[in-house]
A = this chain, B = another copy of it.
Amino acid sequence: MKMTPLITSAVMHFGEMGSRWGFNRTVGQILALIVLNEEPISAQEIADALNISRGNTSMGLKELQSWRLVKQHLVPGERKEFFIPAGDIWTLANRVFEERRKREIDPTMSLLRDLLLDAPANEKEANAQHKLNEIHDLLESITAWSQELQNLGPEKLNTLMKLGSGVGRMLELKDKLLPGKNSVN
């Protein structure tokens, strides 16, 4: 498993970015390596290529599996476990979005719901609650929307993205188009 210079650059970069994407350097490197390698690759090969301990590799792979970004791949006749990406690039990107939503938005939504249940103790709290409510509604919209987008599937999503500024014009016509929908206030 010798990495070519190009692959090395890419792997190193994804390592650096890893922490910004919600996982750590090693996990980012492992992911890049698995994605860029057309053949399935074993844990030992990963450890060797990246110069990291076998234990760290194991933990990284576990994390990537919990994100559903890589999966195991049994090679007939081989005792070792091999790893491959859990889907195409689109799928992987979707998974990252979804996992991050779970980690970054859901816990906050849940707390906000709780905080909004209590009656405000005074003026100050009433004001704060109002702000928290705005935040809650915003997060709810984002969540609903992102699920909606995922349900569209890659093709339609792509259509929508490529549509670009056409979206604006389309929205202006929407009431004529979809008379069943009530307008938003």
Within 8 A of B (CB), among A122-179: 122, 124-125, 127-129, 131-132, 134-135, 138, 141-142, 144-145, 148, 151-152, 156, 158-171, 173-174, 177-178
Interface of A: prevailing SS: helix
Given A21-B104, A129-B6, A144-B161, A174 contacting B181 (CB threshold 8 A):
no
Kindly list chain B residues whose C-beta atoms are within 8 Å of the C-beta of A134: 88-89
Cross-chain contact B128 with A10 (CB below 8 angstroms): yes
| Nearest chain B CB to A136 CB, angstrom units | 10
Given A6-B120, A138-B93, A184-B158, A148 contacting B164 (CB threshold 8 A):
yes
Q: How many residues of A contact B (CB 8 A)?
A: 69
| Nearest chain B CB to A30 CB, angstrom units | 15
Cross-chain contact B166 with A178 (CB below 8 angstroms): yes
**Interface membership of chain A positions 46-77, coded 1 if the CB is closer than 8 angstroms to chain B and 0 otherwise:** 00000000000000000000000000000000
Kindly list chain B residues whose C-beta atoms are within 8 Å of the C-beta of A113: none
Cα distance A148–B4 in the bound complex, in angstroms? 37
Identify A170's interface contact among B17, B35, B124, B178, CB under 8 A: B178
Cα distance A7–B168 in the bound complex, in angstroms? 38
Cα distance A145–B160 in the bound complex, in angstroms? 9
Identify A20's interface contact among B9, B104, B161, B173, CB under 8 A: B104
Within 8 A of B (CB), among A1-54: 4-7, 9-10, 13-14, 17, 20-22, 35-38
Question: What is the chain B residue whose CB lies nearest that of A121?
Answer: B4
